[in-house]
Amino acid sequence: MILGAALLMLSGDVMLGRGIDQILRHSVDPVLYEHYMRTAKGYVELAEQKSGPIPRQAGPEYVWGDALAILKTQNPSARIVNLETAVTTVSEPWPGKGINYRMHPANVDLLEAAHIDCAVISNNHVLDWGRKGFDETLKTLHRAGLKTAGAGSNAADAAAPAIIDVPGGRVLVFAMADRSSGVPADWEALPARSGVRLLPDLSRKTAESIARQIKTHPRKTGDRLIASIHWGSNWGYDVDSDEERFAKTLIDQGGVDIVHGHSSHHPKRIEIYRGRLILYGAGDLINDYEGISGYEEFRPDLSLLYLPVLSQTGALESMTLVPLRMKRFRLNRASTEETQWLLRTMERESRGAKFTLRKDGLIEVKP
C-alpha cells in the first residue's frame, strides 16, 4: 500500500437476531410474531434439517468462523457493518411490523470478537422492539465501545457521522435509509424523537441536500468519507436509476469516497466511478435464512467481505473480496466453485473494475 493509505472492512447486513441469537450463550425469549414462524428456535431447526447439527451455547467467535483468520491476516484499520438487529431484552415488538429481530445484549461480545468499529444502524430492524428497545440497543453498543451511525436519540444525533481514526487520517461514516428498504415512516428521527435518518426520497434535490450536508461537515486533512445507505429491494441485480444518480451525486457534490449500499440479500453491482467505490448492494453477511427455500438462483448462502484500500485522498487503490458461505450458522471459506460463481457474477454486473482470482482464493479488484 502507498504510505498513508488505509485498508477498511465493509460488510452488508449482519443479522444476529432470531435463530442466531438462539444458539449463543445468552438468548432472548424466542417468541416471534411472524405469520411464517412463531418461535426463533424454528429457524435453527430449519438450518439443521438442511446442514446438520449446530452447536448451542456457542462462543462469540463461532458465527464469524473462517472470516476471523482472514481478518487477522488482512488487519483492516476500520471495520464497518450494517447491524440489522436490535440489541435488547425488551419484549414488546413494534406494533404490526411482523418480523422482529433482537439479540440479547450480553451477546454484544460477538461484535467485539470481530473487532467491529462501527455499526451502521440506519435500517428496517433497529427499532423492531420499539424506542425503548432502541435506547437499550444504543446504550449496549456504545458501552461496548462501538461507534454507531444513521440512527440516534434525535435527528442531529442520527445525522452525525461515526468517526474512526485510521493511518493518515480518519474515516467518517454518514449513514441513512430510504423507505424502499422497508423502514416505517414512524421510525424517522425528529428534533425531539429518537429514530433513523430517513431520506424523504432519492430525488436529485434530496441527493444535493445530503451532499451539501456532508460537504460542509468539518473535515481534516486525510479524512475519508463513507455514505452508508440502506435502500432498495432484497432480490435482483437491477440497480434503480435513482440509486445510481443519488450515489454519484454524493461523490460529485459531497466529496464522498465510498457509497456503501445495503439491504439486498445477495451482492449486487460494484462500480468504480471517478476513482471512487460504489457498492450498490453489499449483500447479507450473516443471517438465519439457512434452510429457507426460494431465490436459489441468487445463491443467498454466499457472501462477500469487502476490503478496500483508500489513498490518503480517498481514491480507491485496490480492493480484496473475501468469498464466504454460511453453513450451520457459521461463515466458511467458499469452495472453488462457489468463488468462481461469485467472481463471474461480479464481473457480469460491475462497471469500471477489473477482477482477478488470487492463488489464496480471494478476489482482487482494481480500477
What average pLDDT values come out for the chain (367 residues) when binned by 10 residues? 86 98 98 95 98 98 98 98 98 95 98 98 98 98 98 98 95 98 97 98 98 97 97 96 98 98 98 98 98 95 98 96 98 98 98 97 97
Give tens-digit pLDDT for 145-204: 999 999 999 999 999 999 999 988 999 999 999 999 999 999 999 999 999 999 999 999
End-to-end CA distance of the chain, in Å? Answer: 15
Measure the CA–CA gap between 121 and 277, rounded to whole angstroms.
21
Q: How many contiguous H segments (helices) and E segments (strands) does the chain have?
A: 9, 19
Measure the CA–CA gap between 47 and 50, rounded to whole angstroms.
5
Residue with cell 434535490: 205
Measure the CA–CA gap between 174 and 199, rounded to whole angstroms.
13
Alpha helices in 78-219 (DSSP H): 109-113, 130-143, 155-159, 204-215
Amino acid 355 reads F
pTM of the complete model: 0.97
Q: What is each CA distance from 95 to 43, 92, 99, 278, 329, in whole angstroms?
A: 22, 8, 10, 35, 29
Residue environment code for 197-217, b if the CB has 16+ CB neighbours within 10 A, otherwise e: bbbeebeeebbbbbbeebeeb
- pLDDT for 354 equals 97
DSSP string, 221-244: TTEEEEEEEE-S-SS-S---HHHH
Q: Is 356 helix (H, G, I), strand (E, B) or coil?
A: strand
